[in-house]
Structures are given as structure tokens and as C-alpha cells.
């Protein structure tokens, strides 16, 4: 009987000591921090020219550590959005061989409140409209529908990929 009891305790201790890596549990803490827009994920088979263009622009700017949109989720449930997408100046380089997309120096900043629970982000936008979005967080990557978030110049389709700093 004593050996059975000791074996039982060892098994309980073994299982309680093991940890598992798991995806976002949807808790409000998992969204905390600053997230930078780093990519537009599109279906290459069905993508529109506008989606492909947006993907190329984001890729170019991200490679230069220029982030058009940054979202900062604070513990006090405030959300600070920095958005430079309205200030994009897209041109052709001097040689005429490709695009020239300088990093915008100007940004619009907005502060609002948010809630995040079970994969749903809810906030009040600049028009005082409550917006709810499905958000997928896996580690330091957050995925949001481009159409749902409606970032100017990047809302044709696909998923916006944000990376936590």
C-alpha cells in the first residue's frame, strides 16, 4: 500500500512539473505590448493587383525597419495607434526600374480604450464607433483581417501581420 501511495505521488509530481507550450489562450495579457505591422499575407493565386502592391510596399518598408502602423496595448486598457499609411509617397526610382517608397516621417496618433478576450479585440475608433475584430495571436505574431482593420491603402484583402517588439 505504501509503495502504491509513493508511486502515485511521484506520478502527480511528474505531471505537475511538466510544462507545455501552448498558443494564445485569449487572455487579455497576451495582447499587451507594442505591435508593428510587418506584412500582408495574401493568397497569391487569387490576389488582386492592389493586394500584391500592398504586400510589396509593406515588405520593402519593413526591410528598412519602417513600420506604417504600430499598436500599443497597455495594461490600463488604453490602445495607442500610430498610423503613417496616409502619408505614403510612392514613386518610381530615378532609374525608372522600380518603386521608391520612402518611410513616412509623419504619423497620426490616436488613443482609445480596448478589451481583448477569447480572441476578440474590441475598441472605439476615431468616429466613436465600437469595432470588434477576430485576432489570432501566436507568440509574438498577431494576425488581423486587412478588410476588418481597414488600414488605408492596405484594406483590399488578406491578413495583416503584426509583430510584437
List beta partners, residue 161.
39, 143
List beta partners, residue 70.
36, 82
User: For residue 129, what pLDDT is reported?
Assistant: 93
Element (H, E) at 160: strand 159-164
- Interatomic CA distance for residues 44 and 157, integer angstroms: 12
**pLDDT tens, the chain, 165 aa long:** 443 333 333 333 333 334 333 344 455 579 999 999 999 999 888 888 888 988 999 999 999 999 999 999 999 999 999 999 999 998 887 777 677 899 999 999 999 999 999 999 999 988 999 999 999 999 999 999 988 888 776 777 889 999 999
Element (H, E) at 7: helix 2-17
Distances (CA, A) of 5 to 2, 10, 14: 5, 9, 14
> Exposed e or buried b for every residue in 95-123, given b needs 16+ CB within 10 A?
eeeeeebeebeebeeeeeebebeeeebeb
User: For residue 17, what pLDDT is reported?
Assistant: 38
- Interatomic CA distance for residues 40 and 53, integer angstroms: 10
Do the beta carbons of residue 68 and residue 58 sit within 8 Å?
yes
Distances (CA, A) of 53 to 39, 49, 60, 93, 153: 12, 6, 11, 16, 10
Amino acid at each position: 500500500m505504501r509503495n502504491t501511495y509513493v508511486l502515485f505521488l511521484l506520478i502527480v509530481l511528474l505531471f505537475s512539473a511538466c510544462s507545455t507550450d501552448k498558443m494564445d489562450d485569449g487572455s487579455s495579457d497576451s495582447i499587451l505590448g507594442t505591435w508593428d505591422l510587418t506584412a500582408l499575407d495574401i493568397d497569391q493565386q487569387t490576389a488582386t493587383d492592389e493586394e500584391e502592391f500592398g504586400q510589396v510596399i509593406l515588405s520593402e518598408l519593413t526591410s528598412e525597419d519602417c513600420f506604417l502602423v504600430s499598436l500599443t496595448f497597455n495594461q490600463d486598457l488604453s490602445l495607442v495607434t500610430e498610423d503613417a499609411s496616409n502619408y505614403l509617397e510612392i514613386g518610381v526610382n530615378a532609374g525608372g526600374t522600380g518603386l521608391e517608397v520612402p518611410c513616412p516621417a509623419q504619423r497620426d496618433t490616436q488613443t482609445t480604450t480596448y478589451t481583448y478576450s477569447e480572441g476578440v479585440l474590441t475598441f472605439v475608433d476615431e468616429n466613436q464607433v465600437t469595432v470588434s475584430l477576430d485576432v489570432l495571436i501566436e507568440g509574438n505574431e498577431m494576425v488581423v483581417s486587412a478588410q476588418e482593420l481597414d488600414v488605408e491603402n492596405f484594406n483590399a484583402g488578406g491578413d495583416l501581420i503584426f509583430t510584437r517588439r
